[in-house]
A and B are shown apart, each in its own frame.
Chain A
């Protein structure tokens, strides 16, 4: 739209016509206070905090609903305005409790800030305040009614943003209150968006309330460990008896790819880390079949000795390695390097939730064809095939809804179930469960494969008319189906693709070569020359056993050892425990999972919130993971792999790149002063020394990854600054090798489950229970 020029507080400003005055001011650093206005939600004009004086208008105007106009002259901070705002706050405080010392919002409360700013702390009212007891609406949502300032943000974010519409207004005028949909409780998606968006402490969170205060915590923005969307979540941690404990997850850092959004898992499901049954000491199985706690060196020595014996007597092909979907890229990379160079085997796999290999193969050599999660929020047209993002990719669902609401995006959905997102769809097509491949053929122009009718024809026509299409598809597509879908997509102009896999780093696991037939970057094992050069080792040339074959080999007695890192294949793939009875099993995990129970050695491992590195979400967005929490007694998987390799007699300098020279502490351990690291390296250089990094430093390994995997050639600076970087799929070199369909096992997670990990979250369990046992409807929340 054309730009208009106007004056605010004597400054000449320009902004596109149609911009809200409050936004235009904010863009140039003029802050207009607002309680009810929230960018991206509908306008409410309920609070009157944003009033400004506009010349030629008789009364004060609300900046949150006024659009800028040519020649407008605006004052934002005059005595008159201050007085009006002060009066507004006085009214808001009329029945507001003096709760600040105990209120969860205290210290980050917008009402507190404004009261402080406009000095309305003394009340003119002498009447006794009306007290109401706090109400629990769900396991995660509590409501303290007198603290509510009726800004309606919660109502709008739940309705417009989440499309849940669980919150509403009861009564009118001074008796108006926020009320939940289930009379006295909430029936909703438990996302906690309403709590996050509440400017005061009226809505509080079940996990955090009354625990601590905002300034008492250390806030670390890291990546959610649950689904494949990779939201940035800010974890508030505080010191506890055995490390740093996470007390809150929220979305203060709205700079992430998820913008405003977090679902229940990113916000509340960090409590597995504090579970009492968490392993903190290595366990070694004794002759009598019982586990006994052992010291780290005993346990590692024991495991390394057995692995070495097996490698020497039976060769690498008798050893299998299973990696994880939630470990960092560096750990995954190191694990495959360890398997291939130290153990000498290609028997390495992980729980595949989708077929990334076929996807990479289909897109080999095509540039700019994969979309970031960010693109899903502004693509003009989207075709969603399979999957149920509301349950499995909540952040994607949020983006799609926002995209429709704010940009009028057109969404076309074909699914075998009536998924919730169909409510935002321009066209929804219900197809049989096995009808995805034929639908793609139909879309590509083959009329004979489906029983076409008017609806399918309209669907196809609409899609083919789109000038730029984002195709998002789920695990329903595997192998050749992906090939066919991509071919169809590429026949349209400007198509981008997204394959939806589960878990925080499934994509990273595939990209980093936790696969029996491909190395990092999907390089086939047979053409591994440059890897062999870099590693200075001979790599096994033949494809190894995949996950299912490993268990078959174990059954027939051909798998002497199995090393499982952060995975629970026994439950996932329904493996009979007897299969592993003659196999030496090493497991690294947080808990004694079903797989760990069958192990000979169990190492207590750290989770994603307790380590640093990078992860890649299912879209290919690479993000930085920062260490937030800490737990005495556990070790990161990275460290464990390195130590195991060391005890097996491997040359560590080849496994993890760390240089000669003196040990360099660039101030990391203390929190370096500005310029300190530079001075330190100048000093080292002047003395002809080279810094020696710790063998446990994952970033040295990231250097190696970036050297060997061209699709990961992104800006390190940007990554460290906290921005997401997109993997470059065009740089993948692969020849297609369709794998067994049954290797792909979608996690089938819902909003409230998260594989084995989710079972250890008390909050998720509580929410699940409350959703399966409907509450009796009692009296209305008055």
Chain B
């Protein structure tokens, strides 16, 4: 009886193989594909390079609460806080992040920082082309991660400090 079972198992396996052989090929033609991702197809949930968000007024959402840094298991977030003033308003709350660095040498893309953030300021974007021949390039600064203020209501004000 075992022979019959073996044959059945093999034919079941081979049937899948043969069926797939005649299906159209699905290869992501990265990096030569079309679009801004150059052919890479990413799921929504994909956790790529971080993006620091702005609110509807163009102010930075990050209030430098350090909770992401506290949650981060690889200890790769570095923040320096400073106080907003009437003349120099960066975030909507009392405090903003003067310096916000993530060290991608160490980040494990676990998303804990995103979970921890009380203001939804830090999110995972879809950027994945992070490789570099020089490890020091892997420390991203706030300016590298912040969404541009272009087209936002607070464009002018926001430009003053944070956009390259």
A-side residues, CB < 8 A to B, are 99-102, 106, 134, 209-213, 215-216
Contacts and interface: CB of A to CB of B under 8 A. Distances in A.
Interface stretch (B36-44, B65-73, B144-152): B65-73
A108 to B, nearest CB: 13
B93 interface: yes
B94 A134 contact: yes
Cβ-closest 8 pairs across A and B: A101-B65, A213-B66, A210-B95, A210-B83, A101-B118, A102-B95, A102-B93, A102-B63
Given A102-B94, A102-B95, 9 more contacts: A99-B93, A100-B65, A101-B65, A101-B93, A101-B119, A102-B64, A210-B82, A215-B66, A216-B70
A216 B95 contact: no
B156 interface: no
A215 B83 contact: no
B108 interface: no
Contacts of B94: 99, 102, 134, 210
B81 A210 contact: yes
B155 to A, nearest CB: 24
Interface in B57-90: 63-67, 69-70, 81-83
A466 B4 CA distance: 110
13 contacts: A99-B93, A100-B65, A101-B65, A102-B64, A102-B65, A102-B93, A106-B65, A210-B81, A210-B95, A213-B70, A215-B66, A216-B66, A216-B69
Contacts of A213: 65-66, 70
With most chain B CB atoms within 10 A of its CB, the pick from A134, A209, A210 is A210
A213 B68 CA distance: 12
A73 to B, nearest CB: 43
- The range of chain B's interface size is 10 to 19
Contacts of B83: 209-210
B65 to A, nearest CB: 3
A100 B69 CA distance: 16
Contact of B66 (A99, A134, A209, A212): A212
A238 to B, nearest CB: 9
A101 B82 contact: no
Nearest to B93: A102
Contacts of A134: 94
B19 to A, nearest CB: 54
A283 to B, nearest CB: 31
B113 to A, nearest CB: 14
Interface of B: 63-67, 69-70, 81-83, 93-95, 118-119
Contact of A212 (B67, B81, B118, B119): B81
Contacts of B82: 210
A515 B69 CA distance: 52
Nearest to A98: B118
A267 to B, nearest CB: 20
Q: Helix, strand, loop or mixed for chain A's interface?
A: loop
A215 B70 CA distance: 8
Nearest to B119: A101
- Interface core residue of A102, A134, A210, A211 (most chain B CB under 10 Å): A102
B56 to A, nearest CB: 18
Contacts of B69: 216
Nearest to B117: A101
Contacts of B81: 210-212
B74 to A, nearest CB: 16
Contacts of B65: 100-102, 106, 213
A213 B65 CA distance: 7
B132 to A, nearest CB: 24
B160 to A, nearest CB: 19
A99 B64 CA distance: 12
B141 to A, nearest CB: 15
Contact of B67 (A99, A101, A211): A101
Nearest to B80: A212
Contacts of A101: 63, 65, 67, 93, 118-119
B69 to A, nearest CB: 7
Contacts of A212: 66, 81
Contacts of B67: 101
B118 A100 contact: yes
Taking each of A99, A101, A210, A212, which has the highest tally of chain B beta carbons within 10 Å of its own beta carbon? A101
Nearest to A134: B94
Nearest to B70: A215
B63, B82, B95, B119 interface centre (most CB from chain A within 10 Å): B95
Contacts of A99: 93-94
A141 to B, nearest CB: 16
B62 to A, nearest CB: 10
B59 to A, nearest CB: 13
A277 to B, nearest CB: 23
A303 to B, nearest CB: 39
B70 to A, nearest CB: 6
Contacts of B64: 102, 210
A694 to B, nearest CB: 30
B117 to A, nearest CB: 9
A214 to B, nearest CB: 9
Contacts of A102: 63-65, 93-95
Contacts of A210: 64, 81-83, 94-95
Nearest to B67: A101
Nearest to B62: A101
A211 B82 CA distance: 6
A213 B63 CA distance: 12
A742 to B, nearest CB: 49
A202 to B, nearest CB: 14
B90 to A, nearest CB: 12
A716 B122 CA distance: 50
A99 B81 CA distance: 15
A209 B81 CA distance: 10
Nearest to B83: A210
Nearest to A239: B78
A100 B67 CA distance: 11
Contacts of B93: 99, 101-102
A209 B85 CA distance: 13
B102 to A, nearest CB: 16
A97 to B, nearest CB: 10
Nearest to A215: B70
A134 B86 CA distance: 13
A649 to B, nearest CB: 45
A209 B93 CA distance: 13
Nearest to A216: B66
Contacts of B63: 101-102
A100 B81 CA distance: 15
Nearest to A211: B81
B85 to A, nearest CB: 11
B86 to A, nearest CB: 11
A100 B65 CA distance: 8
Contacts of A209: 83
A100 B93 CA distance: 11
A211 B83 CA distance: 8
Nearest to A214: B66
A165 B10 CA distance: 91
Contacts of B70: 213, 215-216
A100 B63 CA distance: 11
A106 B95 CA distance: 13
Nearest to B69: A216
A213 B64 CA distance: 9
A106 B70 CA distance: 13
A427 to B, nearest CB: 50
Nearest to B94: A102
A217 to B, nearest CB: 10
B139 to A, nearest CB: 15
A211 B99 CA distance: 12
B144 to A, nearest CB: 20
A212 B69 CA distance: 12
Contacts of B66: 212-213, 215-216
A47 to B, nearest CB: 26
Nearest to B78: A239
B100 to A, nearest CB: 13
A99 B83 CA distance: 14
